[in-house]
Amino acid sequence: MAVERQRYGALLAVLCGAIFLEGVDIAMMNVALPSIRADLGLSTGALQWVMSAYVLGYGGFMLLGGRAGDLFGRRRVFLFWLTVFILFSGLGAIAGDGWTLITARFVTGVAAAFLTPAGLSIITTTLPEGPVRERALMIYAGTAAAGFSLGLVIGGVLTAIDWRWVFLAPVIFALCLLAGAIPLIPRDPRTTRSFRDIDFVGAISVTAALVLLVLTIERAPHASLVSTAVSGAASLALFALFVLWERRAAQPLVRLGILRSVRLVHANLTTLLVAAGFFGFQFVAVLYLREVLGWSTLETSFMMLAIGLDAVLAPTLTPRLTARFGHRRVIIVGVLLAVLAYALFLPVSPDWGFAAMFPTMVLLGVSFAFAYGPLTITATDGAAESEHGLASGLLYTSFQFGAALGLSAVTGALALGLHAALVVPLVCALLAAVTALRS
């Protein structure tokens, strides 16, 4: 029993390392962008694509990535795409021009789209159901959130040395994860599945729809209304084609019946809104600290680090609360704390100091610890083992689209001023509270 517990712990450490890597990779890039532009001479448009390419790859291929683990084996998918991540992150480190860097970021995003749901479904299918699995999922969610918070600090330190270390450091870390994953992740059962079993029409239509929707959201603040409307309509048409095809496909990419689960739908919608508020607020807060208060990269990073409190609370306090009060109540409290956190920051002014801002950062860390882990469990609980990858893919697709939507909304609102942009995460949190209460 002790040996088995140690093996579960080692396996969880590897999988948590992978989700931490994904969070750190996104956060570090935010800090490194000015240095990358200065060194490679990139235009503002090209610099935006360094970020957008990753989001397109990640958000667009998430559903296909989740289903691939169910069809071909989670271990195979995890190891293959971790290797791809290593290779293309390495390409980014040696990039000498913008297009090479953008290509590297796109493929790295695709790799993350396959890695993330595979890692989550390995936990849900390997660890025994009950307290052990729930605690593992809380730790996993807390580690993911810590990656987003700590990545700002790590990225600031590495960029101060050389921005290429923002790509090299993940390569070194991922190589260590690969060495640990090979012996620890259980072997997949033999499968008779082949590429002929992939629903290619469904995969192509939904991936194209998701990529186009992410592109529409990302470009909305800078594109014309006509361009946004046309691309949005094209995305909806592709989604309609996908739904019609899935209803008739013999082996659908997404079994539409899974969406009949009210708990799953509400969990995904709440996750989308929580992510929209969380990432939108981080973006605006960083701009305020850097451009209004004139703080350095490291000073800003350490202020945002307070949000990383969730990495401590998620595996320690949250499991006790869910065991006593249930997932739904803990999620509701977490979302309401986010409402309070954003409301407290709303009257921010140029004369605010550390003490005035710190309560919001702490509350936001507690909020994420209470909401994200239980949402992860709710969104995958009850799914058949053969569809755990699909359920994970749906969850992370919701999270990624929420992040893209929140960033796009606050970017557009910034044209009306800082306080208008800060209303966006508050509205997202209020809507998340509504969906959580209705679940």
Q: Which helix (H) or strand (E) holds 69?
A: helix 44-72
The answer to whether 217 touches 404, Cβ cutoff 8 Å, is yes
The pTM of this model reads 0.82
Distance CA 103, CA 45 (A): 15
pLDDT for the residue 234:
94
pLDDT for the residue 2:
54
pLDDT for the residue 364:
92
Q: Which two tokens stand for residue 165?
A: 């270390």
Rg (CA), the chain: 21
- Burial class of residue 401 (count of CB atoms within 10 Å of its CB; 0-12, 13-18, 19+): buried
pLDDT for the residue 159:
84
Q: Which two tokens stand for residue 25?
A: 């990779």
> What is the amino acid identity at position 112?
A
Q: Which two tokens stand for residue 238?
A: 């592709």
pLDDT for the residue 193:
59
Q: DSSP assignment, residue 198?
A: S
Q: Which domains does the chain have, with CATH numbers?
A: 2-198+253-438 (1.20.1250.20), 199-252 (no CATH)
pLDDT for the residue 197:
66
The answer to whether 368 touches 312, Cβ cutoff 8 Å, is no
pLDDT for the residue 192:
56
Identify the segments of the chain with pLDDT beneath 50.
Answer: none
What percent of the chain shows pLDDT beyond 70? Answer: 96
358-368 pLDDT, tens digit each? 999 999 989 98
Q: DSSP assignment, residue 293?
A: S
Distance CA 165, CA 438 (A): 45
Tokens 């800078």, residue located: 222
120-174 pLDDT, tens digit each? 889 888 888 778 888 888 888 778 877 877 787 888 888 888 889 999 999 999 9
Distance CA 240, CA 208 (A): 12
